[in-house]
Structure 1
Amino acid sequence: MPYSSSPPQIPTASRTPAPSTDEATQSIAILGLGAIGTLMAWHWREHVLYGITRDNSRCQRTLIDQQQTAHSLTLPTWQHEAIDWLVITTKASATLEALQSVANQLPQVQNILLLQNGMGQQQQVSDWLSQQQCSANLWAGISTEGAYRQNTEQVVYAGSGDTHIGLWQAQHPTASIPNGLTVVDDIQQRIRAKLAINAVINPLTAVFRCRNGELVSHDEYRQALKELATEVQQCFETLQQPLNFDLTERSLAVAEATAANQSSTLQDVLHQRPTELDYINGYLIRQAQQLNIELPLNRRLLAQLS
């Protein structure tokens, strides 16, 4: 179900919400309470939290931590309160539509954070916010936290990690940062690096229906990883955005370190959900097209999983 069929425009005359008086406490609304959204809500449970759902109902989730303890989370619906952060954790393909669904409330927002896989949606959002003359600061982030949905209301915390965020474009706002987030100056480079690894591991685990570690231990899968990693690395070099590491070695290391994990793409395929590959491998294909570069392995995998 779409968030909104005809997104309202952001009012041009709007006020900027005042920052939180208590620097330790942030007001945060989360749009997209799937795996990562629920996990971040649990991390931020000491803050003032709101949820955003399609039907404006109260958001109830259960987070099962790494000690197998269940934590119940209930978030009230965001109702135009001034907030420090609007955090979007939807699938990349749903980002702009989700944001447009709350367009009338954006004057109440100080900072917008896109915490997702993939690339391309960040610039789409940036361009749209500029058109709407929205004054909120746009941040992008990546996370190595592991979480997956056990069902529609339960999320399992599978592994701790780091979450890095940075301003999408050069700005110098004064913002209090919620706990668990580390601000970096090179967020676009970090997103590209994660996208490169995801472009190798995610489609292969989904095609082979295997856990990450089998890409290392299974000879056929390992060879496919090497070939795909080579194509992706050459793509970034041709785009004059070279990676500062060997993608084959890094992909094998990540697959081995997360051997028992199912990639998010494999989870989507197994649950018959749309994948994010159009904003991972698809993003690379579109970038390469602009230079008349062919990525046959990426194209074939994307076609198999579409």
Structure 2
Amino acid sequence: MSQSPRHPQSSGSEEQFTNTSTPTTIGILGMGAIGTLMAWHWRDLLTSQRLYALKPQADVITRQFSQLDGSVDVIELPIWSPHNDPLCPELDWLVVTTKATHTLAALRPWSACLSTVKRILLLQNGMGQQQQVEQWLAQQQLSCEVWLGISTEGAFRPKPQQVVYAGAGSTWIGPASGNSIPPESLPGQLQLVTDIHQRQREKLAINAVINPLTGQLRCRNGELVTNMEYRQQLIQLAQEVQTLYDRMGWTLAMPLVERSQQVAEATGHNRSSTLQDILAGRPTELAYICGYLLAVARAEKLPMPLTEHLFQALN
């Protein structure tokens, strides 16, 4: 049975747009695991030619997409490339799903076409890249809005042309600044929240515990709670990150020691993105996770020795 995009119930801080009278045109920059997952959610737009991948060359991107029930879809996504079409497409959303470390490098080749883009959505791990993008856009005198996204969906790419849907979840988005006009409609699977920065900090705290530890220990998430030695390291690191959050007045829905163990157990069979990067020989995103928190801590003159040690060992 094919899985259809889910729209979880909204809470008081969430707004959902179901108005589909205004056609939405989306470009995806970064067709890795999450980019492919979002393309699968938005595949209905393919029939109206309103979904593209941005890539310097090629005519189409093909991915085998393994769904939650084990069935396989083949996704063929048309490419927009200046080599194929000199006219820049008008996009309601340019969704950037590259690694945080590659954000600006991915955007720069498309600077001549960003004047026809209404919104850039950074759907990535970590924090700090938003400021880099906003500064670069100002330098280029580009006025497209910057939006931020957080997803609890799981996907991984075992082979270059294959993506596996590992776990259903939610994807929340919101404007980076409070000056953005709410869109008339949102692409399916996205929920608008009033304070996306709070959602970012929640996920950042969990990632700052699970990602560096699994990278250092070369273990799956669940081993952080089933192995007593690893669990003690998780508790100590979570307490250190919690101290910074308390200092900054950044509230969390529950104590980080409890929440990080809860997430590690719920995603027990998963490999964190940091571990996947290390095993594949790729640069990690820890500069935008641990590195971001360390920069905040230094400004507060708050030592974070455990985070510093893990960051230096893995970065």
Q: Report the TM-score, using the length of structure 1 for normalisation.
A: 0.89
Q: Which of 72, 75, 82 is 1:73 aligned to? A: 75
Residue 236 of structure 1 aligns to a residue in which SS? helix
- In structure 2, distance between residues paired with 1:197 and 1:133: 36
Q: Which moved more, 1:171-180 or 1:274-283?
A: 171-180
| 1:225-253 CA-partner distances (Å, limit 9, x unpaired) | 00000111111222333434200000001
How far the C-alpha of 1:83 sits from its partner, in A, is: 1.3
Q: Residues 174 and 248 of structure 1: is their aligned pair in 2 closer, same or farther, counting only changes over 3 Å?
A: closer
- 1:124 aligned residue: 132
Q: How does 1:127-276 map to 2 (within 5 A)?
A: 127-175=135-183, 176-276=185-285
Please tell me whether residue 49 in structure 1 is matched to residue 51 in structure 2: yes
| 1:269-294 CA-partner distances (Å, limit 9, x unpaired) | 11111111110001111111122222
Please tell me whether residue 85 in structure 1 is matched to residue 83 in structure 2: no
For the Cα contact (< 8 Å) 2:154–2:165, is it kept in 1?
Answer: yes
Q: Which of 31, 34, 44 is 1:33 aligned to? A: 31
How far the C-alpha of 1:56 sits from its partner, in A, is: 5.0
- CA-atom RMSD in angstroms: 1.6
How far the C-alpha of 1:66 sits from its partner, in A, is: 1.1
For the Cα contact (< 8 Å) 1:239–1:288, is it kept in 2?
Answer: no
Residue 101 of structure 1 aligns to a residue in which SS? helix
Q: Residues 292 and 52 of structure 1: is their aligned pair in 2 closer, same or farther, counting only changes over 3 Å?
A: same
| 1:171-207 CA-partner distances (Å, limit 9, x unpaired) | 2424221000000011001101100000001111111
How far the C-alpha of 1:213 sits from its partner, in A, is: 1.0
Q: Report the TM-score, using the length of structure 2 for normalisation.
A: 0.87
- 2:122 aligned residue: 114
- In structure 2, distance between residues paired with 1:290 and 1:82: 41
For the Cα contact (< 8 Å) 2:145–2:180, is it kept in 1?
Answer: no
- In structure 2, distance between residues paired with 1:236 and 1:57: 47
- In structure 2, distance between residues paired with 1:72 and 1:297: 44
For the Cα contact (< 8 Å) 1:61–1:74, is it kept in 2?
Answer: yes
| 1:90-117 CA-partner distances (Å, limit 9, x unpaired) | 0001112211221101011111100000
How far the C-alpha of 1:54 sits from its partner, in A, is: 4.5
In the alignment, residue 184 of structure 1 is paired with which amino acid? Answer: V
For the Cα contact (< 8 Å) 1:237–1:243, is it kept in 2?
Answer: no
- In structure 2, distance between residues paired with 1:262 and 1:24: 39
Identity level (%): 51
Q: Which moved more, 1:215-224 or 1:78-87?
A: 78-87
In the alignment, residue 136 of structure 2 is paired with which amino acid? Answer: W
Q: How does 1:4-43 map to 2 (within 5 A)?
A: 23=21, 25-43=23-41
Q: Which moved more, 1:266-275 or 1:72-81?
A: 72-81
Q: Which moved more, 1:99-108 or 1:69-78?
A: 69-78
For the Cα contact (< 8 Å) 1:62–1:154, is it kept in 2?
Answer: yes
Residue 173 of structure 2 aligns to a residue in which SS? strand
For the Cα contact (< 8 Å) 1:146–1:159, is it kept in 2?
Answer: yes
Q: Which of 290, 293, 312 is 1:303 aligned to? A: 312
| 1:60-108 CA-partner distances (Å, limit 9, x unpaired) | 2221111222211122222411111100000001112211221101011
Count of aligned pairs: 286
Query: Where do 5+ consecutive residues of structure 2 fail to align?
Result: 1-18, 82-87
In the alignment, residue 232 of structure 1 is paired with which amino acid? Answer: V
